[in-house]
A and B are shown apart, each in its own frame.
Chain A
Amino acid sequence: MTADSFLFWMLAAVTLCSGLAVVVISNPIYSALCLAMSMVGVSALFATLGAYFIAGVQMIVYAGAVLVLFVMVLMLFDLKTELVTFSRGKISGLLKIATVGVLAGFLAGAFSMTIEFAEKTGAATTVPTPDTSKALGTLLFTKYILGFETLGILLLVIAIGVVGLARSKGGTHAKH
């Protein structure tokens, strides 16, 4: 077994196990920590794919910013125990699990149909170019400039809207 494949299997196991733990563990704090582990695993997987800049951004944005946001809100709530972790109802629960199974089946079918395509392209494993960040920046600021600017506006709107939403006195939590 080469180092490459060992790395992939180990990272896949870490990512999947911690992803499963997010769903299964009933304490939300532990869920958040498992999510952090999963994000680190995904970031390392990006590095194995040669996307080093994306790996760094993943680490900073997800493991750094989004996870801190989650953990901070959890601390704010002070949730001691969760009364009902999973949704009640045996029939609806079975239906939901069946839905997940159907989705998994669709995905498996889609992949088995694309195997020929993947084998055709998978042979061409190119060595990642060292200046991929530069090419990425060029692409982002030329071909995708419209999406980039739109996302800037979206983030501004979101930042203002979230502060307003979290501070608002009316609406759902109005005294009456």
Chain B
Amino acid sequence: MPSIDIVTHIGLNHYLVLSALLFVTGMAGVLLRRNVIVLLMSIELMLNAVNISFVAFSKYLDKLDGQVLVFFVMTIAAAEAAVGLAIAVSIFKRYKEVNIRFFEHLKG
């Protein structure tokens, strides 16, 4: 297979590799950053990467079930962002900073 074929013919693999790269970027953000809000953003990135592979499989297998699962993932992502930001607000009220090291004081 000539290398030009990879550039011009977009298939399932392209979307899967893109999804993997985006997921790895998000995971690096979760592991390396200290700001809770940026951490939540990185989690959103990871969920979006999963959504890309869901939709790609849905197209190339010609089934719509993947797109329904994308709906569910989006709902869970919105709920998770809301809860995470509420916890971040309550951390900020006390410590005036949203660093994850303050999360060890969460109690009660």
Size class of B's contact patch? 35 or more
* Cβ contact of B45, chosen from A28, A38, A69, A126, cutoff 8 A: A38
* Shortest beta-carbon distance from B36 to chain A in Å: 10
Interface 1/0s, chain A 123-150, versus B by CB < 8 A? Answer: 0111010001001100110011001000
- The verdict on A31 contacting B13 (CB below 8 Å), with A126-B62, A165-B86 known, is no
Interface majority SS on B: helix, strand, loop or mixed? helix
Whether the Cβ atoms of B55 and A49 lie closer than 8 Å is: yes
Contact of A5 (CB < 8 Å), options: B9, B29, B93: B9
Query: Is chain A's binding surface mostly helix, strand, loop or mixed?
Result: helix
Decide if B31 touches A100 in the complex (CB within 8 Å). Answer: yes
Residues on B facing A (Cβ under 8 Å): 7-18, 20-29, 31-35, 37-38, 40-42, 44-45, 48, 51-52, 55-56, 58-62, 64-65, 67-68, 70-72, 74-79, 81-83, 85-94, 97-99, 105-108
Known: A12-B14, A66-B77, A166-B89. 9 other contacts (CB 8 A): A23-B25, A61-B74, A85-B34, A86-B33, A87-B32, A100-B27, A125-B60, A162-B82, A173-B91
